[in-house]
């Protein structure tokens, strides 16, 4: 009986000690957690400040990469949606040559024909807006295609920043010589009129359709330079200035006239308005004709 009582007493004592130990351990854990939270709160502002500094540094690096004070610092790709050898390709190569001389960096013509020019424009639309990709837009890719194609892989308005209107060429309404109509003889065909607002320098004796009483007929084939949207404004303006200089050169004008075209020019804003008007104009034609390309 005595031994049993002793065992019970010691059991109670050890149980009490274990309970006190667990309580002390719990208190220490809570204390440690409180200290940790306090230290974390004290460290958080510094951590946040460090994060802000790091983000600011990263943003600064990204900005510097985009801005590149020495632009251009590497070759520029000039995408042309037609095969080499045609008049548009020749014009693009003239632009590339002029920019290469002005920048001291190579401007490389990249011919990407196919699918009505959409392949080339889609490539340009996906390029980085860093000033190192240009595309030669045309009356088809930025005038007709936006409403002709049901699914187009680029947005002609929001996907690009217009740089400059490069050149345009009127079409001509021609007939076979034996037809008894008043016209201007031009080789094996006779031209009745050109589809521009004024007479073409290459055919000075041929009236415009407006002069012939068809003022609504104004359909020219044109070309202009665009870059991906969000390209820095100063880069757009620099490209505009350099191409503008080229277009005012007498030899360039003579070359264009010999090809039946005329130099363009103007500001990026004027070119942007022109593109919007072209899309609206050709959209009406496409709708009236019931045309649609899947």
pLDDT of residue 140: 94
Q: Is the pLDDT of residue 284 over 80?
A: yes
Residue 186's CB is within 10 A of a number of other CB atoms, namely: 15
User: What's the rounded Cα separation, in Å, for the pair 3 and 197?
Assistant: 124
Q: How confident is the model at residue 209 (pLDDT cuts 50, 70, 90)?
A: confident
User: What's the rounded Cα separation, in Å, for the pair 145 and 160?
Assistant: 15
Whose tokens are 């309970």? That residue is 19
Average pLDDT over the chain reads: 79
User: What's the rounded Cα separation, in Å, for the pair 203 and 210?
Assistant: 15
Q: Is the pLDDT of residue 275 over 80?
A: yes
Convert the pLDDT of each residue in 128-148 to its tens digit: 999 999 999 999 999 999 999
SS3 category, 166: strand
Q: Is the pLDDT of residue 233 over 50?
A: yes
**Element at 49 (helix H, strand E):** helix 2-67
Convert the pLDDT of each residue in 57-94 to its tens digit: 444 444 334 445 689 999 999 999 999 999 899 999 99
User: What's the rounded Cα separation, in Å, for the pair 236 and 230?
Assistant: 10
Q: Is the pLDDT of residue 25 over 80?
A: no
């Amino acid at each position: 009986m005595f031994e049993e009582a002793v065992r019970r007493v010691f059991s109670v004592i050890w149980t009490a000690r274990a309970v006190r130990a667990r309580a002390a351990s719990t208190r220490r854990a809570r204390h440690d957690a409180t200290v940790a939270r306090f230290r974390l709160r004290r460290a958080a502002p510094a951590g946040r400040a460090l994060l802000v500094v790091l983000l600011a540094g990263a943003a600064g690096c990204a900005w510097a990469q985009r801005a590149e004070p020495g632009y251009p610092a590497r070759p520029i790709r000039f995408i042309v949606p037609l095969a080499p050898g045609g008049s548009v390709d020749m014009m693009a190569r003239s632009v590339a040559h002029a920019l290469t001389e002005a920048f001291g960096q190579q401007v490389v013509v990249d011919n990407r024909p196919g699918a009505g020019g959409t392949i080339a424009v889609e490539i340009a639309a996906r390029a980085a807006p860093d000033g190192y990709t240009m595309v030669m837009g045309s009356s088809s890719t930025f005038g007709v295609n936006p409403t002709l194609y049901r699914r187009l892989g680029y947005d002609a308005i929001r996907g690009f920043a217009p740089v400059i209107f490069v050149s345009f060429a009127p079409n001509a309404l021609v007939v076979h010589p034996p037809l008894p109509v008043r016209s201007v003889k031009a080789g094996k065909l006779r031209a009745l009129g050109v589809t521009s607002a004024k007479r073409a320098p290459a055919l000075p004796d041929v009236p415009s359709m407006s002069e012939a009483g068809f003022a609504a007929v104004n359909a020219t084939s044109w070309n202009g330079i665009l870059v991906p949207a969000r390209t820095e404004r100063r880069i757009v303006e620099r490209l505009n200035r350099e191409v503008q200089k080229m277009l005012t050169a007498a030899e360039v004008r003579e070359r264009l006239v010999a090809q039946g075209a005329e130099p363009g020019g103007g500001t990026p804003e004027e070119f942007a308005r022109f593109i919007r008007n072209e899309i609206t104009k050709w959209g009406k034609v496409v709708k009236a004709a019931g045309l649609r390309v899947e």
